[in-house]
Structures are given as C-alpha cells and as structure tokens.
Structure 1
Amino acid sequence: MMSIFQIKQKTSGAVLWTGSAHDEKTALDAMARDAGYPDFASLPDQLRARGIEASKLDLIS
C-alpha cells in the first residue's frame, strides 16, 4: 500500500514535495526525480546538508 508523504526542508520549513510512495526512501527519490535528478543520492551535497525530512501524512478516518 502506498502512503502520502510530505518532504520539507528542515531549516526553512519549505515544502519541497508531496505525493504518494511506498516508503520514505522512495518518497525522497521521487522528490529528487521531480527536481530533475536521478535519485535522492544525486542531489547536491549543499541541498542535503540543509536537512530534509519526510513525514507520512496518512489520515485514518
């Protein structure tokens, strides 16, 4: 089952990406692909150094 994730920059609180993914790693990779990179590991060090966090947003009704 896929979950909804929101990825934010820790220092500014800016939302970088929101979407569905199987887990945090695939969410981070999807965010990077949307930004034009092959995967999260390919992001420039200066972007990753600022701190990026992925939060699961699933709501239970």
Structure 2
Amino acid sequence: MRVYQVRQSVTGTILWTGSATDPLGALDAMAHEAGYYDHSDIPEHLRAGGLHVEEIRG
C-alpha cells in the first residue's frame, strides 16, 4: 500500500494521512475514519473548494 495525504484545497488543511491502494481509496479511508460510509458522504462544507489527494513518501 501507498501513503496518501488528503488536504482541503482552499485552506491547505490536512484532513487525513494514511495507507491506501489508490487516491479514491484514500478518500474512502478518510471518510470512513471520520464516521462516514465513503467519500460520497463527506459533508459539502469540507468538499467545497475541493479535496486534494497526494501520494507522499515516508
């Protein structure tokens, strides 16, 4: 697995860092850890302005 970081694009705030198989998996893992079913359930106020997923190196 690879390590990804999810940021809120406008503010640059790091929302999640962890292992996932791909960028969509990273969004799903972030959402699940926050108590949502998957990335489609992430509240609009967090998605407004975009979410940026980046693979990071450890």
Distance 1:38 1:53 in 2: 19
Deviation of 1:49 after TM superposition, in Å, equals 1.7
Gaps of 5+ in 1: none
- Mapped to 2, the partners of 1:23 and 1:47 lie a distance apart of 20
State the partner residue of 2:8: 9
1:45 and 2:32 aligned? no
RMSD of equivalent CA atoms: 1.2
Query: Can you give the 5+ residue segments of structure 2 that lack an aligned partner in the other structure?
Result: none
Where in structure 1 do 4 or more consecutive aligned residues deviate above 4 Å? none
**Count of matched residue positions in the alignment of Structure 1 and Structure 2:** 58
Spell out the pairing of 1:9-28 with structure 2 (5 A cutoff).
9-28=8-27
Letter in 2 for 1:3: R
Counterpart code for 1:42 = D
Q: Could you state the TM-score of these two structures normalised by the residue count of structure 2?
A: 0.89
- Greater gyration radius: 1
Q: 1:46 deviation in Å?
A: 2.6
